[in-house]
């Protein structure tokens, strides 16, 4: 790396950390904040407190370990304020490449052994691709085609944890934390982003969130468009078809108001709809450059109305897009989405926006590989969120430096000269520790 560029980056990093210091509270938190952020970007094998203490203060590792441990696990600074400050400093760099286009909802899992770490339970873990013991956190990211940044991050607390007062006390779960489903957490994050006046984008979500009717309705109520993954069994009304109107009033009792179905008026699953589409409905569309070639697949789109429990409604739901992906060589369609993007949107633009959700997968990959999002070894609620907040802040700085130091490049963790580590030092969790 050019030495001048190195010095400039270090100078900008100092200014960036000073911005975070301005919202961290006590002045004595400034030094551990900087050291923690430096540690997250150093080429340590693990980005947990002990190895970061060794690389940021090799001459006083024990004292540094205690300082960082207190700062991340016990100090009562605000995650929301730090995330907001990081967002304030990083968004201009992202928006220089174009306006914010999407708000991406997703979650990520962290495999864990035992049952004492906050929120750990047997649940689906995306990192493992199966049910296992793990923690899961829900996030909201702002994105355009250049970059993306998580701006909200919250641990999902399973019901058995919410109801277990002993475990709550041991891990410091705040008293006001009540059980919320992942879609409920996501909607709260979206509502907070709207309230904060952040630049609006299309809400993108996979089927784990998109299948939730209340979440989609909540997004629409905030005057936001969405592209939501759904399952093949989701039922819809196609053009020219729909439920029956309310029954004719008999003259007695209340006027009937609910729309109806009968044997001849039944919705169809999106999978059945897709299989019945004519060949001319399918188009091969490219959406972005992949590792070796431009990515493309075969898509169809149809205007539909969602039928889910609409017999409890007085009117049918509005029309929206159903987008279907059926790659060549596959026996059946592989993905389905509902979207409230405008009716006149071009086919290619609809696919392009839908596929922009890949950025969150890259976010999580880089947050885990580059800055150690999954390396926190504490068990408490505060430490879990503090560590994640600082990882996001560090990642935000790398995004703002992307023109000179791409987060996925070889220099992303060499912004600072690496201090010497005591001979024979092996941090806990290291493959060499045994």
Contacts of residue 192, defined as CB under 8 A and 6 or more positions apart, other chains included, come to 152
Say if CB 236 and CB 273 are below 8 A apart: yes
Query: pLDDT for 265-314, tens place per residue?
Result: 889 999 999 999 999 999 999 998 777 778 999 999 999 999 988 888 88
Q: Is residue 429 over pLDDT 50?
A: no
Q: What is the predicted pLDDT for the residue at 416?
A: 54
Using CA atoms, how far apart are residues 272 and 186, in angstroms rounded to an integer? 30
**pLDDT on residue 427:** 46
- Location of structure tokens 């960082």: 68
Q: How far is CA 147 from CA 94, 99, 237, 387, 412, in A?
A: 6, 11, 37, 22, 15
Distances in Å between the Cα of 111 and the Cα atoms of 14, 288, 400, 421 are 34, 32, 30, 29
pLDDT above 80: residue 326: yes
Instruction: Give which of 316, 286, 303, 300 is closest to 344, Cα–Cα.
Output: 303
Asked if 326 and 282 count as a contact pair (C-beta separation under 8 A), the reply is yes
Assign 3-state DSSP to the chain and report helix, strand, coil percentages, each to 5: 40, 20, 40
Q: In whole numbers, what is the pLDDT of the chain averaged over residues?
A: 89
Q: Which residue has the higher pLDDT, 279 or 264?
A: 279
Q: Give the C-alpha distances (Å, rounded to integers) separating 279 from 140, 274, 317, 326, 327.
A: 38, 11, 28, 12, 13
Packed helices 79-95 and 381-400: angle between N→C axes, nearest 10 degrees: 20
More confident residue, 253 or 271: 271
In the block, tokens 């409604």 appear at 313
State pLDDT tens for residues 187-223.
999 999 999 999 999 999 999 999 999 999 999 999 9
Contact 373, 386 (CB under 8 A): no
For residue 268, the cross-strand partners are 236
pLDDT at 36: 96
Q: Report pTM.
A: 0.89
Residue 409: pLDDT over 60: no
Q: What is the pairing mode between strands 202-205 and 102-111?
A: parallel
Flag the least confident range among 134-148, 302-316, 329-343.
302-316
Residue of higher predicted confidence among 307 and 409: 307
- Over range 69-94, report the average pLDDT: 96
Question: What's CA 232's distance to the chain center, in Å?
Answer: 23
Backbone angles phi, psi at 249, to 5 degrees: -65, 135
Domain boundaries, the chain: 3-204+361-400, 227-248+256-356
Strand partners, 339: 227, 321
């Amino acid at each position: 790396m050019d030495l001048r560029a190195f010095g400039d980056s270090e100078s900008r990093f100092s200014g960036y950390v000073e911005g975070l210091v301005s919202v961290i509270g006590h002045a004595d938190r400034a030094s551990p904040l900087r050291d923690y952020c430096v540690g997250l970007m150093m080429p340590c094998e693990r980005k947990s407190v002990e190895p970061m203490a060794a690389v940021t203060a090799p001459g006083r590792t024990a004292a540094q370990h205690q300082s960082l441990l207190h700062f991340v696990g016990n100090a009562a600074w605000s995650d929301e304020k730090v995330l907001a400050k990081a967002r304030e400093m990083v968004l201009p760099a992202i928006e220089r490449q174009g306006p914010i286009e999407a708000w991406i909802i997703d979650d990520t899992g962290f495999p864990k052994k035992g049952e004492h770490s906050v929120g750990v339970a047997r649940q689906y873990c995306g990192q493992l691709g199966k049910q296992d013991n793990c923690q899961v956190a829900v996030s909201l990211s702002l994105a355009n085609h250049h970059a993306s940044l998580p701006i909200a991050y919250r641990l999902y607390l399973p019901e058995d944890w919410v109801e277990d007062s002993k475990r709550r006390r041991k891990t410091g779960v705040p008293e006001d934390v009540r059980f919320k489903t992942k879609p409920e957490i996501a909607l709260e994050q979206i509502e907070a982003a709207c309230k904060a006046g952040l630049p609006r984008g299309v809400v993108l979500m996979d089927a784990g969130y998109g299948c939730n009717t209340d979440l989609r309705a909540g997004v629409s109520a905030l005057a936001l468009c969405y592209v939501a993954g759904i399952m093949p069994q989701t039922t819809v009304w196609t053009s020219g078809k729909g439920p029956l109107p309310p029954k004719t009033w008999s003259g007695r009792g209340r006027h009937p108001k609910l729309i109806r179905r009968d044997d001849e008026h039944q919705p169809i699953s999106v999978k059945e709809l897709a299989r019945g589409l004519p060949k001319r409905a399918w188009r091969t569309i490219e959406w972005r450059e992949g590792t070796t070639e431009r990515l493309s697949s075969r898509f169809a789109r149809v205007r539909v109305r969602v039928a889910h429990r609409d017999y409890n409604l007085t009117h049918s739901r509005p029309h929206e897009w159903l987008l279907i992906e059926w790659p060549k060589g596959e026996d059946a369609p592989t993905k389905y989405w509902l979207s409230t993007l405008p009716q006149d949107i071009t086919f290619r633009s609809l696919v392009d926006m839908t596929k922009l959700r890949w950025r969150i997968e890259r976010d999580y990959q880089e947050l885990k590989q580059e800055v150690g999002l999954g390396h926190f070894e504490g068990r408490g609620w505060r430490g879990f969120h503090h560590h994640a907040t600082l990882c996001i802040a560090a990642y935000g700085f790398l995004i703002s430096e992307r023109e000179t130091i791409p987060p996925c490049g070889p220099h992303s963790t060499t912004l600072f000269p690496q201090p010497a580590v005591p001979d024979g030092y092996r941090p806990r969790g290291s493959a060499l520790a045994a």
